[in-house]
Structure 1
């Protein structure tokens, strides 16, 4: 049997080292992360058989990472154990809905974790059976029924407010409408930023695909402007990830690319894009698309009808 791999994500370095050592003693290959974004990236690269995730981490939390992993075909088979020092009803319910195990985070954590891990290690292969939520010394899990979105729930708890969690620029005020541009062309995004600011809308720029995806997940934009060719993931992959997540699937995505390719347009529209625009694109074209697919107020007309970017 090949060595199983476990991802341990926790910002408590002492606990991280202790759990890593213990898991290695069980014969597990260990990879670690100390924040939610690194946990997601590491999981995407390694596709571990087991993920041990702390609820509270910089840049997000274990529940949001679990939800994002569940939307990926490879990572959906990872067995997830969520650690928390506050196993309240909402945490228990969300773990139950995702099929994640739950363990209380205290001085006795390894006593509870070890039998769970041994059970997972003993499995010859991961099956499709949803594992029960486990909370050995807490209240029984609540029945599922609350249909609020994961994003709204996490925002209510205040777990997605870390401004340093992404390399995407996070300039917007909490009450100001904003649009996310996932595009590695600075001329396009800077020019668009000036035009949107003139009508009271802020622009957050992400030059790498996965940075944009994480930024959208952490805080919902009014719309996403998505290029196709970018570092760290092409637009088709990013669009698929956006539409697979309950937190971002309803955000309008307007593809803006320099590629004149009818087959690409068909694929992107079939994958859930609201609009497909080819550069050079005018402000009027973008404004028309934003008005059609969002509730943004763009009535101010103080910018010229000129090309935003020719790239």
Structure 2
């Protein structure tokens, strides 16, 4: 990889990941190291922001909604474009993914227990002048471990629905959290910062619309995607209310009918969680 001499100004970094928790934590720590940081929550947004923001370094997840991270890299690393350093942050263990990263000349940091160590090393490799800063501040938090597996919060007062979805998600390597109503879900989301929330519409102590309103008022939960399920026909008026912006942030990512056939739901979850589909598991 051709080296890029650090400019007098702070290096521009674009962080693209659909995990709101990781984006927030990594952005805070990289800003403390001296980077000028911009963020994106999906591949299409990353492409648009990269073209406008013109970053010096891109930190990007592989599995994201709309456009995956490797496709973003393929477009941004065109030889006719300005040089761009790339660090791929991924929980994937697929050898093909690593081969493609190396083909792009990208460095990768595996999500998991060693993520912060690998991220520090990647940034110092690209910007050696940051070594002393990294040793003093670094990207590594004292206690926060980057999750190798996605985390889904299921919100439903029907225990059978939660059991059905949870058993299938766990087989795909997804960590599952539970809440029986909107109030409990909001508290849990603030504490655990799930990758995505799947919520029933009708619940005691507040419906899905109430939950969205609460989530979008907190910086910790304002960008977490929410998929709303309902066993009844919600009608256009309620669906439009769920999809509208709440406090300037996106409403429901998707609205679906509850069904024993969960293939549509799991197809949507795969966009946000990036788990590999397993033909042996009935969805």
**Interval containing the TM-score (normalised by the shorter chain):** 0.3 to 0.5
Q: Tell me the TM-score normalized by structure 1.
A: 0.41
Q: Which structure has more RCO (C-alpha within 8 Å, separation ≥ 6)?
A: 2
When Rg is computed on C-alpha atoms for both structures, the one with the higher figure is: 1
